[in-house]
Structure 1
Amino acid sequence: MIYWKKSVITAASAAVLLAISWTGSSAQASESVVFDSTTVQANGKKFTVQWTTIDLSDPYIRVMPITAEAGIGYVESFAGMIERSDAVAGVNGTFFDAYEQDESKRHPNGLMIESGSFVRSGENVALGIQTDKTAQIHQMQTKLSFKVKHNKNVYTVNPWGVNTYYGDDADQVIAYTSDFAQQIDRAGGMKAVIEAGRITSLTEGAAAAPENGYVIYIGHSPNNDKNLLPNLHEGDQVEIEAYVADGSGSNAVPVAEAWETAIGAGPKLVTNGQADVDFERDGFDDPKITGSANTRSFVGVNGEGRLVMGTVSSATAVDMAQALVELGMVEAMNMDGGSSSALYAEGMMKRSPGRLLSNALIVKRYDDPQVQVVVNGKFVNENRGFIKQDVTMVPFRGIFERIGADFKWDGEERVLTAKRGTTELTLRPDVPDAIVNGRAIKLEQAPVIVDGHLYIPLRFAGETLGAKVSWDQLLYRATLELK
């Protein structure tokens, strides 16, 4: 099938280097995830601490939440998640409804962000890893809205949450992504599919979740049927506003530009190198969290700014906070205090959980250095670039969508054609030549399809588009600025 697609994204400033090479090695990459253990004395007691330290600046490394294979609401073994994701380290994720009898409703309770996109909405004490590769632990709050434009009218849809569960309330409006399920088939409501900045369909039946879009479920309550649904039409333009704010709801920043990863749990344990446990402030009253002594899991940030994930032997939250201060943590947060506590490192389980889990936080090591890509100030957060044989490969679709180019893919002939302004080009996967305005151009590397996405050499992208280019070696960030 051949089709034309156009996507227009508002431009801002940025830059990109045409050719770069990683000066590190796989040996250096292996030193970026280091396991250790020791005995710490705190509050008059001794505790065994096991932990893994992660150097977030290593371009071979990425940290991300992972959910059960069947989707959000289901559970899976921690070992299964580790094996399936090919993780080199991991810890259990946010709390979930572990005692729910219906195995399709064991939903996570904390916010999750992956690759600058919401996996689950929420408001929690959370570990957040920013796009500048620094880690923070503080109150975070997700905010999502859809501004639907029909003719000259603009209607704002504010979903209750993203991939969340609110029972059978008919008035609910929920935004779903492919992280929840490949098909959104909830009965009792309309589904509006949002993809490439438009409502592509409205259906009462099952709706396929777009890879980089949303399905908005709108329950058939009198309020929604009268006031919301009449404002939605197939073909309407949609502007998505996704932000993360602090605990007060202020200082909101676009999630895609600021945050790479986040996971919410709690309570907070350490702030600025001092024990900081306040159950009421962080919204906890369960005795298993506030008073019981169990093997506990945690995430933290040490004095060198490196991410730490680990477990502490039978301890209360107050005990663990002091033990982590003694260990040198500058910031820390509790992840669990019981059967869900889990830790994987060095190719083995250091702590196996006593139950199946809804989600986990993992460390993934890639064969090739990963490259952040920015186009006209907008992160291509859905797909990273990478370096192969000293050539930087970048996602073609992510670049051209953000500059409003037209393109079409002929799957049978395996040909991609694109046009922007007076520039027309043709590309073929695995063919080291491109055609630009009828002229053949030899490429440094042939375009390649990885996980269904076409990647092209950065030098070719910059020269073809006439981009101003630069490179940030510290962040491993390639940026393009063009008109």
Structure 2
Amino acid sequence: MVPVRFVSEALGETVEWDQNARSVYIGGRPYISSETKQVKVNGKTFSLNIVRVDLNNKKIGMKIVLAKDALGFTESLKDMAKRNHALAAINGTYFNAYEDLKEPTGNIMVDHRVVHLGNYGTTFGFTDDNQVEFDVVKFKINGITNKDGRDIEWAPYAINRTPPVNLSTIVLYTPDRGSETRFNSGISVVVENGVITKHLKGNVVIPKNGFVVNLSGTETRYLDRFPIGGKASFSPAFEPSGTDVSFWQKAAGALGVGPRLITDGKITVDPISEGFSSEKILSYSMARSAIGVTANNMLLLVTVNRATIHELASIMHSLGAYNAMNLDGGASSGLYYGGRYLTTPGRDLSNALIIYKKND
């Protein structure tokens, strides 16, 4: 039986549920469906769970979500999906699963906001009208303060990430970090409504209407660039390697993961060139997740029980992906659809990509 949620989200449109095909139809046309199948690639058989999403349907939306709506926490994929009224969800980028703070490691954009810098691998991005791109993109933050009537530029090395102990650095914290910075080192500059209000030490509350800039180690020498009463602001910048910067400037969401699997219909796996060195990426056969888009704009969310990265690329190619990349895998690999798991993750997650139905 289709969950009642699907009916309520249809907002008066004709909705049909095909149990055999595990598909949702709006106005007689399927826009999201799932399938469990065996695929034979290079003489080996792989068990796949697949969710297909028609991105040509303007009632479909995509969103990057954070565990407990903040960076550094974890939550079950199912709870993230349900809390955001998702039709489908798949695990996102890598994170420090074995640390006290479960911080992600890749580029992340949520609701047009850059909330984390990763700067390795491939980044998947999408716009509000379901345009998508895959590219190696450097995300940056450019800041400006005003002192004595002149603008002074500053740039954080990271955003919403705990600075390493005994490292000199500048880190930006926004409300996407949560209510507090959650560490005690350095000196923090508090900005509210664009005005610098405080210089504090220790764990600092992040204002909902502002941000915090933390200076640690030798970087505290720049504290005089942030005078109390002065103005401060920041904005994102993007350095794509193969796509137009205007796409990233208007992107609604993005996940930096990788490596890239398919480029313009061809297998293009080269993890070392994207900054990967772990054997989990280079050679291991393990549970994998992947995201791809076909030439006719069908989004593919895929999990496989066990495969190498090169095998995963061949699998996505066999499914018709025109562009595709790897997502976090192993115990993080998870796929949710129709109110239940198709692939159950072995742990709580830091972030995810969800598919939802837009309100009219």
What is the TM-score when the length of structure 1 is the normalising length?
0.65
Q: Which residue does 1:127 correspond to in 2? A: 124
Alignment deviations for residues 429-457 of structure 1 (CA, whole Å, 9 cap, x no partner): xxxxxxxxxxxxxxxxxxxxxxxxxxxxx
Provide closer, same or farther for how the CA distance between residues 365 and 145 of structure 1 changes in structure 2, counting only shifts above 3 A: same
Matched, 1:224 2:219: yes
Matched, 1:49 2:43: no
Matched ranges for 1:292-331 at <5 A: 292-331=284-323
Q: Which residue does 2:338 correspond to in 1? A: 346
SS where residue 320 of structure 1 aligns? Answer: helix
Aligned CA RMSD, in angstroms, stands at 2.7
Matched, 1:140 2:99: no
Partners of 1:78 and 1:360 in 2: CA distance: 7
Which of 215, 225, 242 is the aligned partner of 2:236? Answer: 242
Partners of 1:61 and 1:211 in 2: CA distance: 30
Alignment deviations for residues 365-403 of structure 1 (CA, whole Å, 9 cap, x no partner): 34x22xxxxxxxxxxxxxxxxxxxxxxxxxxxxxxxxxx
Tell me the percent identity. Answer: 28
Larger radius of gyration: 1
SS where residue 144 of structure 2 aligns? Answer: strand
Q: Which residue does 2:179 correspond to in 1? A: 182
Q: Which residue does 1:34 correspond to in 2? A: 33
Provide closer, same or farther for how the CA distance between residues 195 and 26 of structure 1 changes in structure 2, counting only shifts above 3 A: farther
Counterpart amino acid of 1:120?
H
Q: Is the 8 A contact 1:343 1:352 kept in 2?
A: yes
The runs of 5 or more residues in structure 2 that have no matched partner are: 1-9, 16-25
Matched, 1:290 2:290: no
Q: Which residue does 1:65 correspond to in 2? A: 64
Q: Which residue does 1:199 correspond to in 2? A: 196
SS where residue 177 of structure 2 aligns? Answer: coil
Q: Is the 8 A contact 2:162 2:183 kept in 1?
A: no
Partners of 2:255 and 2:33 in 1: CA distance: 21
SS where residue 288 of structure 1 aligns? Answer: helix
> How many residues end up aligned between the 2 structures?
339
Q: Which residue does 2:104 correspond to in 1? A: 108
What is the TM-score when the length of structure 2 is the normalising length?
0.85
Provide closer, same or farther for how the CA distance between residues 31 and 210 of structure 1 changes in structure 2, counting only shifts above 3 A: farther
Q: CA deviation at 1:362?
A: 1.6
Partners of 1:313 and 1:254 in 2: CA distance: 34
Q: Which residue does 1:173 correspond to in 2? A: 170
Q: Which residue does 1:25 correspond to in 2? A: 13
SS where residue 336 of structure 1 aligns? Answer: coil
Partners of 1:316 and 1:56 in 2: CA distance: 28
Q: Which residue does 1:270 correspond to in 2? A: 262
Provide closer, same or farther for how the CA distance between residues 195 and 176 of structure 1 changes in structure 2, counting only shifts above 3 A: same
Q: Which residue does 2:84 correspond to in 1? A: 85
Q: Is the 8 A contact 2:126 2:133 kept in 1?
A: yes
Q: Is the 8 A contact 2:142 2:153 kept in 1?
A: yes
Q: Which residue does 2:21 correspond to in 1? A: none
